[in-house]
Amino acid sequence: MKQRVHFLTLTFKHLIIQQQKKSIDNEEMKTYMQCYIENGLEILMQIKASRTSLDDLRFSII
């Protein structure tokens, strides 16, 4: 499990670096990761709020 978390963290770091097109230190990386996580949660909340009671949240996300 610990190796999987490390792999995912490393993957997200490389995606952020690729998107920002610059080298990023650890403190800046924490800020970027926090922003992306918060943005993703906001999107999920919007999706959840806009669905009807019959919709399955998993299908709404797709």
**Predicted confidence pLDDT, tens digits, the chain (62 residues):** 777 778 888 888 889 999 889 988 888 988 998 999 999 999 988 888 887 766 677 777 76
Question: Residues for the chain: how many in total?
Answer: 62
pLDDT of residue 45: 87
Q: Which pLDDT belongs to residue 59?
A: 72
- Location of structure tokens 């806009």: 50
The number of beta carbons lying within 10 Å of the beta carbon of residue 29 is 16
Cα–Cα distance between 48 and 44 in angstroms, integer? 6
